A and B are shown apart, each in its own frame.
Chain A
Amino acid sequence: MNESSPSKSPPKSENKLFTLKKWNAVAMWAWDVECDTCAICRVHLMEACLRCQSDSKAEDCVVVWGECNHSFHNCCMSLWVKQNNRCPLCQQDWTVQRIGQ
């Protein structure tokens, strides 16, 4: 691909026919997960878990990753670990790696 926009030196616009001035970009975000469904509540991770849906707290329902890299709704998982401190998918001890935001 041709270098089309000034990069290293200041633009010499008189040399270029076309100059890019403005870009309105559109991107989409999703949780960076391997499997996009929560194995606990069987709802898509991009959607709020059933509990949050019925409490209409959909915006606050985030995803949690374990050290095993498996991911679930944070609220589903916090209920789950009260019963059993293992990952429901791989049975390893559950340690939180990070929480989505």
Chain B
Amino acid sequence: MALAITTKEEIWNELRDGLTKIYNDFQRPVSSKEYIDLYNHVYNFYWIDARLIENGADLYERLKKFIRDCVSEQFVTCKDLEASQLLENYATFWKRKFSSKVANGIFEYLNRQWIRRELDEGNQDVYEIYNLAIVIWKTIFFDTLHQNITAAILKLIEQDRNGEQVQISLVGDLISSYSEIGMEINELYKADLTIFQNQFEQHFLEDTRRYYTTESTEFMQTNSFTEYLKKIELRFQEERDRCTNYFHESTQDHLLKVLDDVLIKPHMELFLSEFESSFNHKNGEILARIFSLFEHMHMEELSMFRRMLDQDTEKKLREAIEKFAPPDMNDPKQYVKYIHDVHHHVSTLVADPFKSSAFFVHAKESIDKAFVSFINRNQVIEESKSSLRAPELLARYCDLLLRKSAKNPEEMELEDLLNQVLDIFAYIEDKDIFINYYSKLLAKRLINELSVSDEAESNMIEKLRQICGYTDKLQRMFTDAGLSKNLTENYRQYIAGRTTEQHVDFSIMVLTSGVWPARQNFICQIPKSLSLCMDSFTTFYMKQYNGRKLTWLLHMCHGEVTGTGLYIKNARKYTFMASTAQITVLMLFNEATEYTLAQICENVELKKEQIMPYLRPIVEVGLCKVVGSYSDLDDNVPDGTKFVLNTEFQNKKMRVDLTKVRIHNEAKKDVEEVERSVNDDRRHVIQAAIVRIMKTNKTLKHNQLMTEVLQQLSTRFQPQVPMIKKCIDLLIEKEYVKRVENDKETYEYIS
């Protein structure tokens, strides 16, 4: 840099020339050399002698005059222009403020030194350079012209509303000057919308009100209600778009309120009567338009419309309930058919007329609401206390469909029927109860290989997962069944390769504990051939897996026993299907043909009430005779009762099934068991939910926690408030959460 420059005047001349170039063309890139030279001039001016404060003030005043001259020059070319030209010039000059951004950088040293000092001392008349430029702009341009400009913008918007071709994008540039001026001259540089609101928004809203009052009145006189609806829908959209594109976001609420005041409120009675008549005439298009309009506007009247719809749905539902004969609540098939018929009937009347319009969604919502209450809290169902509840009925119906039988429907029909079940399942509140029953029945199908097909089972599990999501255990049961088939196969190969004394055709099902609704019921004595099987399989299994232990579920095992050689009169060879305890009993008869009950108990190592259910079928088919008059064989049979093998046994069938064991009160026990396990699960799930919620929130008020829990669990079941409270207490005891001191209503998470 030339060292010759020694006076302030000379430095300023250099600076002024540089600035002039910058201000003359704001789009020209400024080279870094040019920028640094100018920056150095500022520095040198400030340090030219020891009178730093004077130099700073001097430079500030010179720059201020420079900018003022620039802006005044621009202003002169604008002030007498008519509206549209004015807007364009104003917008162009406003864009030139970018030059002042560059100047702000060049004068950064002054910003940091002299200006900072003045600001710290509370000098109200000094601004950082860029703000100074905005303030000068405001005084010269804005304060004088804003009324003209506002008027011009409003004109532009009106033309746009009228559909004329205008350069509407100008509005954005202009409006940004309104909000930036407010922001920059406010000391804290926070968004300050007062200038925008006072100088523009107010006028804009008044204008809007005027414009649409006229339009609305005129339009109504010559057009139908439907046309009016379409028109204002369009207007709402246009105004909303304009707002997002060009104005500050806060304007939208104010604007919508004006539109509401002018376009909807004055015609409210018309809206209401039109809604009612459209509803009666099933005019879905109009209904949908009114709904979405009112929804967008958060209008209270919407809930009235909803109520009207709901009441109609409920009326149709009541009619349907009267129309169809109530089902036998112990017959799952009848129940599902009944619910399906009623649903179909109501859908046809309530939703179908709207099929082609957007209102269909609302009608369906209303049906869903009515059915949730009908299925879960229905009087017909509540009154008959002994009968099955909806979740159990549904699960039993699934079992009917998925269990192999002579009456299984075709694949396609099966799919349809299962989909019907899923439709109803979606309405069930206590989905966990359904899953519990389902899992019990699935277990029976898988263990006894009674499924109609693997594919049907896994499809159904997948569909249930889509509706309620927590079907992991069902899925794992299904996987276990597949794994067990391989395991049996592998074991057979393993056994075939060695000299073995096993003569029993062995197959195995290994269940993952905790996944299946099963636990060990009893241990009893078993024939040696079976314990050999067990041991040999256990050895094989432990080689395959690591760290596992096996528990045998004897009450679920069953086998086949042939009886030969005994029937002198009839050389037929019978096959008996028997459960493990029965196998043991039959084997006893290889040794002797007569036992007292006490002897049987002793040999099998089961108690009387445990063995009796297994003895009954043996007696009933006539394979064994009871000495004495105890025909009904209840649990009070005396210990001394003699059981004698019937050596003249005859049966029409070659295969005799002894496994139809009736455990006393089994159905009732099932219900109790499900209830218990559902309650356990629920407590577990609620606690997990509480821990999750508390972990994210750290501290939470009692009521908030309750709401969160209820909301999170609603897809599974409707938790009872007392149960949630109990779970919170349990978690406090277990030190997962605690009550905040001095505030009994608030909980805190203990990490």
Contact = CB atoms under 8 A, between A and B. Distances in A.
Interface stretch (A13-21, A76-84, A87-95): A13-21
Contact of B546 (A8, A16, A98): A98
A32 B563 contact: no
A24 B557 contact: yes
Contact of A14 (B558, B564, B603): B564
B508 A25 contact: yes
B505 A2 contact: no
A3 B525 CA distance: 12
Contact of A4 (B528, B546, B556): B528
A65 B587 contact: no
B504 A26 contact: no
Given A26-B552, A101-B547, A2 B591 contact: yes
Nearest to A31: B547
A23 B562 CA distance: 12
A63 B512 CA distance: 14
Nearest to A12: B565
B512 A6 contact: no
B513 A29 contact: yes
A58 interface: yes
Contact of B563 (A17, A22, A65): A17
Contacts of A21: 504-505, 559-562, 575
A27 to B, nearest CB: 5
Contacts of A1: 525, 527-528, 603
B503 A6 contact: yes
Contacts of B510: 27-29
B509 A18 contact: no
B506 A25 contact: yes
Interface string B532-570: 111001000100011111111100111111111110000
Interface residues of B, number: 65
Interface in A1-56: 1-8, 11, 13-33, 44, 46-47, 56
A32 B547 contact: yes
B678 interface: no
Interface string B588-617: 111100000000000100000000000000
A28 B583 contact: no
Q: Most B CB atoms within 10 A — which of A17, A59, A62, A100?
A: A17
B253 interface: no
Nearest to A5: B529
Interface stretch (B18-26, B514-522, B718-726): B514-522
A28 B575 contact: no
A61 B390 CA distance: 36
Q: How large is the interface on A (under 10, 10 to 19, 20 to 34, 35 or more residues)?
A: 35 or more
B547 A58 contact: no
Contacts of B566: 17
A11 to B, nearest CB: 6
B565 A15 contact: yes
B561 A19 contact: yes
B695 to A, nearest CB: 11
Contacts of B556: 26
Contacts of A25: 506-509, 533-534, 537, 552, 557
Contacts of B565: 13-17
A29 B550 contact: yes
Nearest to A17: B566
A101 B557 contact: no
Contact of A18 (B533, B541, B551, B590): B590
Contacts of B530: 5, 20, 23
Contacts of B518: 26, 28
A13 B503 CA distance: 12
A42 to B, nearest CB: 9
Q: Most A CB atoms within 10 A — which of B546, B557, B576?
A: B546
Interface string B473-515: 0001001000000000000000000000101111111111111
Contact of A20 (B504, B519, B589, B603): B504
A1 to B, nearest CB: 5
A18 B549 contact: no
A63 B51 CA distance: 80
B645 interface: yes
Given A23-B559, A28-B512, A4 B564 contact: no
A4 B591 contact: yes
Q: Most B CB atoms within 10 A — which of A19, A26, A62?
A: A26
B472 interface: yes
Q: Most B CB atoms within 10 A — which of A4, A28, A32, A47?
A: A28
A44 to B, nearest CB: 7
Nearest to A44: B514
Contacts of A56: 472
A76 to B, nearest CB: 15
Contact of B589 (A5, A13, A18, A59): A18
A20 B559 contact: yes
Given A7-B528, A22-B507, 4 more contacts: A4-B527, A5-B527, A5-B587, A6-B529
23 contacts: A1-B603, A4-B527, A4-B529, A4-B587, A5-B504, A7-B529, A13-B562, A14-B564, A18-B587, A19-B563, A20-B583, A21-B505, A21-B560, A21-B575, A23-B505, A23-B580, A24-B557, A28-B519, A28-B553, A29-B550, A32-B547, A44-B514, A59-B479
Interface of B: 447, 472, 476, 479, 501, 503-516, 518-520, 525, 527-530, 532-534, 537, 541, 545-553, 556-566, 575-576, 580, 583-584, 586-591, 603, 645
> Sorted from nearest, which 4 A-B pairs have the closest CB atoms?
A4-B587, A5-B529, A100-B547, A46-B514
